[in-house]
């Protein structure tokens, strides 16, 4: 698609766009259905995440990256979401590759200065208040940043010989647990991920902020919420459903 044909013409001030990598298979959850499509509070997990952005008045558009063989996404995109969500069938074998592929596929739809909010499909508890907090805090930030929570639990490092034995206590002062969305300007994020890919470091990147850090920049931490947990194991699903069914 040429820039002139884009439904999202370049504009100033910058817009806010969401990008959700959702090409994973959720191996640790088990089952035949990819984790992002498991039902929570009556809807597929991915639906909750997509709707949080699609329903937000300041998010110009939402993109979701799935695998080429994904057979679930079209059913999930009911009429209420279809016009506000673009499916990019360019998912890679890792989250990082899916994000980079998604950014490249969005290129004609996005200005360099637009903000991209990358969000895990397995975090269904995101709500408008958290998005508002992120936009309000980072809208004028020179780098960007991410939702995160200060670590409150005592941390233990296990022995190299026995993963069930605590070797030492790790100081938790100054430690935060990263969440998503992670919000950066399009050009900066694309540059950071492409550089990591070119240098063979993409596998070492565990989130988008770590790619920005490799450029020598310091993303800003914005306090998130326990309701924005990532569903990784079966026990996480019950807690996520509790938050989705309860008051915000």
- Please give the model's pTM, rounded to 2 decimal places: 0.90
Cα gap 40→47, rounded to integer Å: 9
CB 59 within 8 A of CB 127: no
Q: What pLDDT score does 157 carry? A: 95
Render pLDDT for 119-158 as a digit per residue (tens, 0 to 9): 999 999 999 999 999 999 999 999 999 999 999 999 999 9
3-state secondary structure of 148: strand
Which among 95, 91, 85 is positioned nearest to 63, based on CA atoms?
85
Torsion (CA) 240, 242, 246, 248 in degrees, nearest 10: -30
Q: What pLDDT score does 81 carry? A: 84
Binning pLDDT at 50, 70 and 90, where does residue 248 land? low
Domains of the chain, first to last: 3-245 (3.90.550.10)
Tokens of 80: 């209420």
Render pLDDT for 44-90 as a digit per residue (tens, 0 to 9): 999 999 999 999 999 999 999 999 999 899 888 876 788 899 999 99
Q: What pLDDT score does 242 carry? A: 85
Bridge partners of 184? 116, 144
């Amino acid at each position: 698609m040429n820039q002139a044909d884009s439904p999202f013409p370049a504009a100033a001030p910058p817009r806010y766009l969401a990008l959700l990598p959702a090409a994973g298979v959720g191996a640790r959850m088990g089952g035949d259905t990819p984790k992002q499509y498991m039902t929570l509070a009556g809807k597929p997990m991915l639906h909750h995440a997509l709707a949080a952005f699609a329903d937000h008045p300041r998010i110009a558009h939402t993109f979701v990256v799935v695998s080429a063989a994904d057979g679930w996404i079209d059913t999930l995109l009911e009429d209420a979401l279809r016009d506000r969500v673009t499916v990019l069938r360019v998912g890679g074998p890792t989250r990082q590759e899916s994000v980079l592929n998604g950014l490249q596929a969005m290129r004609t739809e996005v200005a360099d200065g637009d903000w991209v909010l990358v969000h895990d499909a397995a975090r269904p508890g995101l709500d408008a208040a958290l998005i508002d907090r992120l936009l309000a805090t980072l809208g004028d930030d020179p780098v960007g940043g991410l939702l995160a929570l200060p670590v409150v639990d005592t941390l233990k490092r296990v022995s190299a010989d026995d993963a069930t034995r605590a070797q030492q206590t790790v100081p938790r002062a100054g430690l935060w647990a990263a969440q998503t969305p992670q919000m950066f300007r399009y050009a900066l994020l694309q540059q950071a991920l492409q550089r990591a890919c070119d240098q063979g470091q993409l596998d070492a990147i565990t989130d988008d902020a770590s790619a920005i850090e490799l450029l020598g920049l310091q993303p800003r931490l914005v306090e998130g919420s326990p309701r924005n947990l990532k569903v990784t194991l079966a026990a996480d699903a019950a807690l996520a459903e509790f938050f989705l069914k309860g008051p915000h």
